[in-house]
Amino acid sequence: MTQPRFVALALVLVSLFAATPRIAGAAEELTLLATVTRVVNVPMIVGLRLLEKEDGVKVTVRDLRTPEAVMLAVIEGQGQVGTGFAPFYPAIEKGAPVRGVLELSRPEFVVMAKKEIGSVKALHGVRLASHSPKATVQSLLEYFLKTQHAGVQPNVVFIPEGSPARAEALLRGAVDAAAFDLTAAQVVNERAPGKFHILVDFTDQPVSSSTLVVNADFARKKPALVQKLVRRLLQSYREGARDPKFWVRERGETLKEIDDAKLEGQLRALVKIFDLNGGLERMKGPGAVQNLSFQVTTGNLSAPVSKWKPEQFFEAAPLEAVLKDVGRR
Amino acid sequence: MVLALRAASVVAFLLLWEWAARVPISFNFPSPAATGAALLALVRSGAILTATLTSLQSLLLGFGAAVVVGVPLGLVMGVVRPVGRVARVYLDLLIALPTAALIPLVILSFGINVLSSAVIVFVFSAPFVTMNAYGGVRDVRPRLVEMARAFDASWLQLFARIVLPSAAPMVLAGIRYALSRAFVGLIIAELLLSPFGLGRLIMTSRSMFEHDRMFATVLWTLLLAGAALAALARLEARLLKWRP
């Protein structure tokens, strides 16, 4: 090839490359850090898939072992977004540059006990399995007992291996009661029908169990992307609440090992913990104060509650903008 | 000279740590001074001493069992060759075993108590005690054995006068190494199994982002392990002072 021809070909290739239309969202990428994927995460995962499909944002989900590891990784910017459980609050108290932008779920936990333990009072002194000293489930248990059954002190043993391990411990008689998520309670009922019962249901507690946490620097630089993320998650929650089959259908490869009908049953039981308004009530106003007061009571935040303002923890603007668009339920 | 070198290494380590805290290399990374202050507060409140006592129960139970079972087993493996050949395979597998993955099974088999952590400590340390005892016997110089036999030594005399003293340095080195493994096993068990003692203190501080307290507890564990290893080294030197 002669030199002028080579130059002409190169120019054509360069101009063709320059003229190729770019898909606006294709350049956007998002890494979400979560603790080990469970059934309760399916609606969030579906929301992320919608974000990929509808907005062209490339989403990577990475699982980390513990909620505090997730918080640290979001703080350090190893992922822009993460699932925030109890450690979210002490992290903010220590000055972490993160904010909650959406409530992912209200508590999904219950306390299940042997049939012989008929009341909360009877939990006094019995072996009760919980996650770990500052886990959400343990905080809920302490808060519940402190505020509604003062004096009842179960012998709490910690099994930080997750709800399935606690369910197994209950089934095998290693403990008399256990605090775990609703799906584990279903498993216990299936495996040992009539032997255990739900003694305390935390799913109606007016507090957030997990929050979508964003790195503050990222939220400042990419407010539109944060808003898109919030919109898609809310869309997933609303469509799934109408028909949980939607979550089962749209989950992709997530928890593919669980049979569709079984997963649908588990998700149906969890529908009530997903707020169709993204938990705005617990991010602003009196609901938020109650949410923070819960964190103070359980020791995740230092007292008094009056020194904490919801805006130190939550950035409600993206959610409010989305709700303005899609309407409240 | 050695003392100066030791002091210099400690100062260099503290300077590096201080630098890491000032950068900081990660969120809320504590300085040596903050860690020291947190350690002092933990000692004053009694929290760390109570936790240490709980942890020591598992450690003594698990490590003690590892020595009591591991040393005789290793000696038998070394003396009775067929036993050695068979058991060696299992020992190799036990060393390569991803013990942490078995922790949920340990809970279900032994219950949620100190015994479970002791079992993990045992599994972490026993193979090393056994392996060294076995190696010690296998390394006995054949000429010494031949000489004893030439003098019509009985089996018991041979074992007590030749095999045991020759194997002792390796047995004791194995016990020392196993002790450091026992500390690792203890903290892993207490973090993953059911938080008791020092593991619980680490876990709670980590959850609350009180990294100074967490580092203080880790530092305390290191000091504890260091003191135990130093004591064992002294005992080893005393027991082996007959050596040239």
Map out the domains of chain B with their CATH numbers. Answer: 44-239 (1.10.3720.10)
Is the CB of B192 inside 8 Å of chain A's CB atoms?
Answer: yes
Q: How far apart are alpha carbons A252 and A259 in whole angstroms?
A: 13
Structure confidence at residue A24 as a pLDDT band (50, 70, 90): very low
Question: Of A185, A204, A223, which closes a domain?
Answer: A204
Show the DSSP H helices in A179-222 as ranges: 182-191, 216-221
Q: How far apart are alpha carbons A89 and B22 in whole angstroms?
A: 24
Write out residues 13-42 of A within 8 Å (CB-CB) of B.
Answer: none
Write out residues 241-270 of A within 8 Å (CB-CB) of B.
Answer: none
Q: Report the CATH number at residue A168.
A: 3.40.190.10
Is the CB of B156 inside 8 Å of chain A's CB atoms?
Answer: no
Whether residues A84 and A211 fall in one domain:
yes
Instruction: Decide: A205 and A140 in contact? Cβ < 8 Å.
Output: yes
Q: Residue A80 corresponds to which tokens in the numbers above?
A: 């822009």
Whether residues A309 and A225 fall in one domain:
yes
Radius of gyration of chain A from Cα atoms? 23
Is the CB of B108 inside 8 Å of chain A's CB atoms?
Answer: yes
Asked if residue A2 is part of any domain, the answer here is no
Whether residues A211 and A86 fall in one domain:
yes
Beta carbons of A161 and B103 less than 8 Å apart: yes
Share of chain A above pLDDT 70, in %: 92
Structure confidence at residue A159 as a pLDDT band (50, 70, 90): confident
pLDDT of residue B80: 92
Q: Residue A99 corresponds to which tokens in the numbers above?
A: 């904010």
pLDDT of residue A7: 61
Beta carbons of A175 and B112 less than 8 Å apart: yes
Structure confidence at residue A12 as a pLDDT band (50, 70, 90): low
Over the stretch A205-251, which tens digit does the pLDDT of each residue have? 888 999 999 999 999 999 999 999 999 999 999 999 999 999 999 99
pLDDT of residue A161: 73
User: Which positions in chain A touch B195 (Cβ < 8 Å)?
Assistant: 132-133, 158, 160
Could you give the 3-state DSSP secondary structure of residue A110?
Answer: strand
Is the CB of B148 inside 8 Å of chain A's CB atoms?
Answer: no
Asked if residue A13 is part of any domain, the answer here is no
User: Which positions in chain A touch B28 (Cβ < 8 Å)?
Assistant: 94-96
pLDDT of residue A106: 92
Q: How far apart are alpha carbons A292 and A104 in whole angstroms?
A: 16
pLDDT of residue B232: 93
Q: Does residue A16 carry a pLDDT above 60?
A: no
Cβ atoms within 10 Å, residue B58: 29
Structure confidence at residue B98 as a pLDDT band (50, 70, 90): confident
Find the CB nearest B207 among A68, A93, A157: A68
Q: How far apart are alpha carbons A211 and B3 in whole angstroms?
A: 53
Q: Does residue A299 carry a pLDDT above 70?
A: yes
Is the CB of A75 inside 8 Å of chain B's CB atoms?
Answer: yes
CA–CA distance from A194 to each of A100, A121, B116, B163 (Å)? 40, 21, 30, 62
Is the CB of A95 inside 8 Å of chain B's CB atoms?
Answer: yes
Residue of B nearest to A174 (CA): B111
Q: Does residue A22 carry a pLDDT above 50?
A: no
The structural domain count of chain A equals 2
Mean pLDDT to the nearest integer, B1-5: 89
Greater model confidence, B189 or A32: A32
Structure confidence at residue A18 as a pLDDT band (50, 70, 90): low
What was the ipTM of the complex prediction?
0.71
Q: Does residue A278 carry a pLDDT above 90?
A: yes
Find the CB nearest B194 among A93, A159, A299: A159
Whether residues A114 and A100 fall in one domain:
no
Q: Does residue A116 carry a pLDDT above 70?
A: yes
Beta carbons of B191 and A160 less than 8 Å apart: yes
Whether residues A122 and A193 fall in one domain:
yes
Of A323, A304, A273, A321, nearest to A44 by C-alpha is A273
Element (H, E) at B203: helix B197-207
pLDDT of residue A9: 63
User: Which positions in chain B touch A93 (Cβ < 8 Å)?
Assistant: 209
Whether residues A217 and A91 fall in one domain:
yes
pLDDT of residue B85: 92
Of B65, B83, B39, nearest to B221 by C-alpha is B39
Over the stretch B108-119, which tens digit does the pLDDT of each residue have? 678 777 888 899
Whether residues A217 and A180 fall in one domain:
no
Asked if residue A322 is part of any domain, the answer here is yes
| Minimal C-alpha gap between A215 and chain B (Å) | 13
Q: Does residue A110 carry a pLDDT above 70?
A: yes
Question: Of A173, A204, A235, which closes a domain?
Answer: A204
pLDDT of residue A4: 61
Instruction: Decide: A106 and A326 in contact? Cβ < 8 Å.
Output: no
Beta carbons of A68 and B103 less than 8 Å apart: no
Please provide the average confidence, as pLDDT, over all residues in chain A.
89
Question: Of A172, A204, A236, which closes a domain?
Answer: A204
Asked if residue A11 is part of any domain, the answer here is no
Find the CB nearest A94 among B28, B111, B194: B28
Q: What share of chain A is helix, strand, coil (3-state, %, to 5)?
A: 50, 20, 30
Mean pLDDT to the nearest integer, A101-113: 95
pLDDT of residue A21: 47
Q: Does residue A25 carry a pLDDT above 60?
A: no
Whether residues A85 and A212 fall in one domain:
yes
Whether residues A272 and A127 fall in one domain:
no
Over the stretch B9-56, which tens digit does the pLDDT of each residue have? 999 999 999 999 998 888 889 999 999 999 999 999 999 999 999 999
Cβ atoms within 10 Å, residue A12: 10
Q: How far apart are alpha carbons B205 and A133 in whole angstroms?
A: 10
User: Which positions in chain A touch B209 (Cβ < 8 Å)?
Assistant: 68, 71, 87, 90-91, 93-94, 96
Structure confidence at residue A38 as a pLDDT band (50, 70, 90): confident
Could you give the 3-state DSSP secondary structure of residue A193?
Answer: coil
Whether residues A163 and A253 fall in one domain:
no
Over the stretch B148-190, which tens digit does the pLDDT of each residue have? 989 998 989 999 999 999 999 999 999 999 999 999 999 888 8
Asked if residue A12 is part of any domain, the answer here is no
Asked if residue A9 is part of any domain, the answer here is no
pLDDT of residue A135: 80
Whether residues A180 and A318 fall in one domain:
no
Beta carbons of A165 and B26 less than 8 Å apart: no
User: Which positions in chain B touch A90 (Cβ < 8 Å)?
Assistant: 207-210
pLDDT of residue B103: 75
Contacts of B71 (CB under 8 A, 6+ apart): B129, B130, B133, B171, B175
pLDDT of residue B47: 93
Q: Which domain holds residue A39?
A: 24-106+207-326
Is the CB of B208 inside 8 Å of chain A's CB atoms?
Answer: yes
Asked if residue A19 is part of any domain, the answer here is no
Whether residues A278 and A213 fall in one domain:
yes
Is the CB of B110 inside 8 Å of chain A's CB atoms?
Answer: no
